[in-house]
Structure formats: structure tokens, C-alpha cells
Amino acid sequence: MSNETILRRILFVGAGLVIVVILILALIVIPSVIKDTSPQAAPKTAVPGIIFVIIIHLLIVAAFVRTIYANRRGGHIEKGLLIGIGVVLILFSLMILDGASAYLDHPDPIMHRVSVSMYVCTGFNLFASVLVLVTAFFSRLFKAASK
């Protein structure tokens, strides 16, 4: 198996993790936040923020797919794009972590499920960012070794 195939598979795993984050946010977090009836609930401000995070994650998946297909057609892996994806994933992990911490002290047990789901999303994002940054680093090494 060639080095490029290994790097491409790592990117597939990272893209899969980001897709799982999108699904968790869309199918578990948003419906639960909308149903929250506690006095401190603010679904009118929380839901647009979560939708914004989902849209950015969709753009990240598109960047993953672009990089994977460009590499498959014989192009090189763009190191700058991968570093950008990794940094954005880390920043959005921190945003999701902030929301998860806010829902942790909630009296409703359903919101504890939301909090745990958001912590899982944070972990997946951080793991995907590590995979992307490792791919960016090793793509340079493999390119130098093949010359």
C-alpha cells in the first residue's frame, strides 16, 4: 500500500468523524435544545449557533472531499488547507465544549444527554484535527522521501 493511500485513508477517517459530529448535532442536540422548557432555556439563541457550527462542519467535510479526490487523481495533498482544517476543528471543538459545559448543570436529565453528546462531538473533532494535522505533517515527509 502506498503512502498516499495511507494518508487518503486517514483523511477518510477524519471526514467520517466530522460527519458523525454533524449527525449528532443535528439529530440529538438541536431537537433536545428546542424541547428544553426550563426557565433559563434560550433555544432562540442556541439553535442558530448550533446550525452555524453544522454549516461550518459541512464546509470542512467539503474540504476533506476536495483534498481526497485531488489526491486520488494524482494531485498532491495541500498542506495549508489541511492545517487550516485542523485549526478550525480545534476552535469549533472549544465552542462545542463551551456549550456542553453550559448544559451540564441543567436540572433536566435530557439536557445531560445533550451535554454528553456535545462532549463526544468535542472528542471527535479533536481526534479529527489531530488526524488532519498528522496527515499534513507526513504528506511533506512522504513527498520528500519520494524525490
Is the pTM of the predicted complex or chain greater than 0.95? no
Q: Residue 145: which pLDDT band, with cuts at 50, 70 and 90?
A: very low
Neighbours of 37 (CB within 10 A): 7
Where are the extended beta strands (E) located within 1-147? Answer: none
pLDDT in tens, 71-86: 777 767 778 889 999 9
- Per-domain residue ranges of the chain: 3-30+43-146
Q: How far apart are CA 70 and CA 77, in angstroms?
A: 7
